[in-house]
């Protein structure tokens, strides 16, 4: 039986779009984007980021959509379909990357679940740093991680339509409402003005720096879930009538919008409570220490705001985790002929077991994260750009199906041939030494 025969499809166009947005909007949107913006020129950085999203992120996103829909297969089969067997190793790397990212992503997601439950049950105490210390690692962290993996497996086991799509259709609008509500609430707080100034004060001098461009490109790429076939796999459940250019544009801009609005919530809240001195560079620090400190200072309102905030993080993490597991599950279904449930349960358990190492050791978690985001994802994206730019025969025909008469993407293949690989190579060039340092730190 060919992989396409009997393959499931999305129930609706909106379902596919929300699932893709769900993959993109994750923990990276809720803090890392706003932190980079505040550090690197405010509104000027926002403009640069949107430009980089359109020039680097969007072409690779459209490439993944085109390969996925055109082949109707998960990454290994899809690359072989358009490039021959020589390309299957790249597909294997994608699947391995799915295992690796989900193993530690689920540990962080477990923290967010525990924070949401804590906000609802008793609120945060005054010493948020000590609380994080207890949550971050140890057998408790293993248990919350396992619980989160269980939910992820249950949804993926439900299937494309009844599992993944249904979850996205319910959860994504909810997430959007929660983030907007938080931003509105933050605007009502006395003293929040300083937060907007800090976040968005435009400094065009800052963005004339190569390092800033690299950081923007790396973030745009990670935030769109590119470089490991997640978007490719989702697109493999599409029909021929979809307008891929419009859909990729919508997904990219929505991902940006959520990140931007999250910043409008985070900084004003921190400034209103006078905690700006405690903003930390790391994703973990501000999300899991500074903000809970702010919620604790808000008193009763902080219980509600804290719950909404961490519930939004849980939702963001869950819909991203689903897409990671789906890459692995779809590959086992296509390549080994496994039934969906069996693949979800067995492979989900393997990933959960790998995550135990990350839940017991923050250093291991850090190495897993840096290996994936500094090496495997930009490297995978570089290969994908070269694949569609130089190897695949007539990729334009693939995109044009369902999008006849659209002109704005004529530059697409050209961007994939030279500019995108160059930018990704530069991102890799600068991030590999950082990765090496982290690996050495494991032994130091
Ligand atoms: N985009 C996700 C975020 O912003 C993280 C991510 C990176 C991801 N690559 C992925 C999620 C691949 C799913 C699949 O947090």
Q: Give the CA count within 13 Å in the CB-facing half-sphere of 40.
A: 23
Using one digit for the tens of pLDDT, what is the confidence trace for 143-156?
999 999 999 999 99
Per-residue confidence (pLDDT) for residue 326, from 0 to 100: 98
Task: Identify whether 425 is part of a domain.
Answer: yes
**For atom 9 of ligand 1, which residue has the closest CA?**
225
Element (H or E) spanning 133, and its range?
helix 128-136
pLDDT surpassing 80 at residue 280: no
Task: Identify whether 306 is part of a domain.
Answer: yes
Distance from Cα 98 to the centre of ligand 1, integer Å = 10
Q: How many domains does the chain have?
A: 1
SS3 content of the chain, % helix, strand, coil (to 5): 80, 0, 20
pLDDT surpassing 80 at residue 405: no
Distance from Cα 29 to the centre of ligand 1, integer Å = 9
CB-based contact 315:175 (threshold 8 Å) = yes
| CA-wise closest residue to 269 among 259, 279, 260 | 279
Mean pLDDT calculated for residue range 359-365: 95
**For atom 2 of ligand 1, which residue has the closest CA?**
26
Rounded Cα distance, 417 and 288, in Å: 41
CB-based contact 280:290 (threshold 8 Å) = yes
Task: Identify whether 3 is part of a domain.
Answer: no
**For atom 3 of ligand 1, which residue has the closest CA?**
26
The structure tokens listed for 3 are 């992989």
Using the atom order of ligand 1, give the atom closest to the CA of residue 255: 4
Mean pLDDT calculated for residue range 4-29: 92
pLDDT band at 2 (very low <50, low <70, confident <90, very high): very low
Rounded to 5°, angle at Cα 383 from 13 and 355: 75
- The CATH number of the domain holding residue 407 is 1.10.4160
The structure tokens listed for 333 are 């279904």
Query: What residues make up the domain containing 325?
Result: 13-443
**For atom 10 of ligand 1, which residue has the closest CA?**
225
pLDDT surpassing 80 at residue 3: no
Task: Identify whether 4 is part of a domain.
Answer: no
Mean pLDDT calculated for residue range 81-93: 97
Kindly state the percentage of the chain with pLDDT values over 70: 98
Helices marked H in 273-403:
283-285, 291-297, 300-336, 340-360, 362-370, 377-386, 395-400
Kindly state the percentage of the chain with pLDDT values over 90: 76
Task: Identify whether 399 is part of a domain.
Answer: yes
Task: Identify whether 5 is part of a domain.
Answer: no
Distance from Cα 404 to the centre of ligand 1, integer Å = 31
Tokens 């996925």 correspond to: 68
Per-residue confidence (pLDDT) for residue 126, from 0 to 100: 84
Task: Identify whether 224 is part of a domain.
Answer: yes
Residues at CB less than 6 angstroms from ligand 1: 23-24, 26-29, 101, 222-223, 225, 228, 230, 320, 323-324, 377
Per-residue confidence (pLDDT) for residue 185, from 0 to 100: 96
| CA-wise closest residue to 336 among 152, 95, 159 | 95
DSSP 288: I
Task: Identify whether 331 is part of a domain.
Answer: yes
Mean pLDDT calculated for residue range 250-267: 96
This prediction has a pTM of 0.95
Distance from Cα 225 to the centre of ligand 1, integer Å = 4
pLDDT surpassing 50 at residue 1: no
pLDDT band at 277 (very low <50, low <70, confident <90, very high): confident
């Amino acid at each position: 039986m060919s992989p396409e025969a009997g393959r499931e499809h999305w129930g609706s166009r909106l379902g596919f779009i929300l699932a893709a947005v769900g993959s993109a909007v994750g923990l990276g949107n809720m803090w890392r984007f706003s932190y980079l913006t505040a550090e690197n020129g405010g509104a000027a950085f926002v403009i640069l980021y949107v430009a980089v999203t359109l020039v680097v992120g969007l072409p690779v996103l459209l490439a993944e959509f085109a390969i996925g829909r055109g082949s109707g297969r998960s990454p290994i089969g899809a690359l072989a379909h358009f490039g021959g067997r020589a390309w299957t190793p790249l597909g294997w790397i994608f699947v391995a990357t799915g295992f690796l990212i989900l193993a530690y992503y689920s540990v962080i997601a477990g923290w967010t679940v525990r924070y949401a439950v804590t906000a609802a049950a008793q609120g945060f105490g005054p010493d948020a740093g000590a609380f994080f210390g207890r949550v971050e690692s140890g057998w408790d962290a293993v248990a919350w991680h396992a619980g989160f993996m269980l939910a992820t497996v249950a949804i993926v086991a439900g299937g494309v339509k009844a599992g993944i799509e249904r979850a996205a259709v319910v959860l994504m609008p909810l997430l959007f409402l929660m983030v907007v509500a938080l931003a509105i609430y933050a605007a009502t707080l006395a003293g929040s003005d300083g937060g907007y100034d800090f976040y968005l004060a435009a400094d065009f001098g800052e963005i004339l720096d190569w390092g800033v461009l690299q950081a923007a490109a790396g973030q745009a790429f990670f935030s769109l879930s590119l470089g490991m076939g997640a978007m490719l796999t989702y697109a493999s459940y599409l029909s021929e009538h979809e307008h891929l250019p419009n859909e990729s544009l919508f997904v990219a801009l929505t991902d940006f919008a959520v990140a931007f609005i999250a910043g409008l919530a985070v900084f004003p809240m921190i400034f209103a409570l006078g905690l700006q001195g405690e903003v930390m560079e790391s994703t973990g620090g501000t999300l899991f220490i500074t903000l809970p400190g702010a919620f604790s200072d808000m008193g009763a309102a902080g219980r509600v705001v804290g719950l909404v905030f961490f519930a939004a993080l849980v939702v963001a993490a869950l819909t991203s985790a689903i897409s990671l597991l789906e890459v692995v599950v779809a590959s086992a279904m296509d390549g080994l002929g496994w039934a969906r449930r069996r693949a979800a349960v067995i492979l989900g358990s393997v990933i959960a077991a790998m995550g135990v190492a990350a839940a017991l050791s923050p250093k291991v978690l850090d190495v897993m994260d840096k290996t994936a985001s500094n090496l495997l994802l930009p490297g995978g994206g570089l290969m994908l750009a070269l694949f569609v730019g130089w190897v695949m025969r007539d990729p334009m025909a693939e995109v044009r199906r369902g999008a006849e008469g659209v002109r704005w993407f004529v530059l697409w293949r050209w961007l994939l041939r030279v500019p995108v690989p160059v930018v990704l190579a530069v991102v890799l060039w600068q991030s590999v030494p950082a990765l090496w340092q982290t690996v050495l730190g494991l032994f130091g």
